Amino acid sequence: MRFLLVEDNIQLASAVVDRLTLDGHAVDHADTISAAHACIAAASYDLILLDIMLPDGDGRDFLAAHRRAANKTPVIVLTARSQVSDRVGLLDLGADDYITKPFEFSELEARCRAVLRRQGGVADNRRSFANTVLDSMAATLSFDSTERNLRNRELRLLEIFYGSPGQIFTKSHLMDRLFSFDEEASENAIEVYIGRLRKKLEGSAAKIETVRGLGYRLVAVS
């Protein structure tokens, strides 16, 4: 998944980026509202983490404009405000959730998972396809009596396919979802990850199929 972090505290931002990157997410960091708008114009995001007090304006104004533009990307607000009225106001503006500073990274990760589950229309951390079950929390792929562990980026790539079975994803789209602006990666990296996932899916009723000239899709096999 690709996240946008809008936060002007460099120490906090660096810690959040490092933690989410370890989880296999691609994270772009913007320290101003104008930089955040530039990121959104250049890339698509699965989740936005938004601070309120920013050098060039109020994050609430950014959130309101984000929703007026009919942008459905979920937003979790990072706020130092603890008053109920402040939190209610953020939700009414269109925030999908909020977390109060200072926070534990485990709570932030849990809130990210919860918001992404709601966005994907699933009730828990597991997604099923054919005879397989992808468990994002455990980072495992299971079928029949087999359970295979997934590395972080393998997991994030499978989440994309399991979120839209049958949909064709181009290499460029997958790169956009998996890598941030700061990461140097080529389309060959996608081929490597696809190869690894095909090995993990061997013996199951699901496979990642190459659609010549277009990309890849998750399909069921008999």
Residue with tokens 């534990």: 104
Query: Any idea what DSSP says for residue 32?
Result: S
Is pTM, for the whole model, over 0.75?
A: yes
The two structure tokens encoding residue 76 = 């979790």
State the distance between the two ends of the chain, measured CA to CA, in whole angstroms.
Answer: 30
Assign 183 to helix, strand or coil.
coil
Assign 152 to helix, strand or coil.
helix
Tens of pLDDT, residue by residue over 127-156, are 999 999 999 999 999 999 999 999 999 999
Kindly provide the b/e burial profile for residues 157-193, where b requires at least 16 CB atoms within 10 angstroms of the residue's own CB.
bbbbbbbeeeeebebebbbbbbbbeeeeeeeebbeeb
Q: Which CATH number fits domain 2-120: 3.40.1360.10, 3.40.50.2300, 3.40.50.1100, 3.90.1650.10?
A: 3.40.50.2300
What confidence score (pLDDT) does residue 128 get? 95
- Confidence at 125, pLDDT banded by 50, 70, 90: confident
| In contact, 113 and 106? CB cutoff 8 Å | no
Up-side HSE of residue 114: CA atoms within 13 Å toward CB?
11
Q: Comparing 2-120 with 126-220, is the CATH topology the same?
A: no
Query: Which of 75 and 120 is assigned the larger pLDDT?
Result: 75
What confidence score (pLDDT) does residue 51 get? 96
Give the number of other CB atoms < 10 A from CB of residue 34. 14
Q: Which CATH number fits domain 126-220: 3.30.420.10, 1.10.10.10, 1.10.390.10, 3.30.365.10?
A: 1.10.10.10
Domain boundaries along the sequence of the chain: 2-120, 126-220
Give the number of other CB atoms < 10 A from CB of residue 133. 16
Tens of pLDDT, residue by residue over 80-106, are 876 788 888 899 999 999 999 999 999
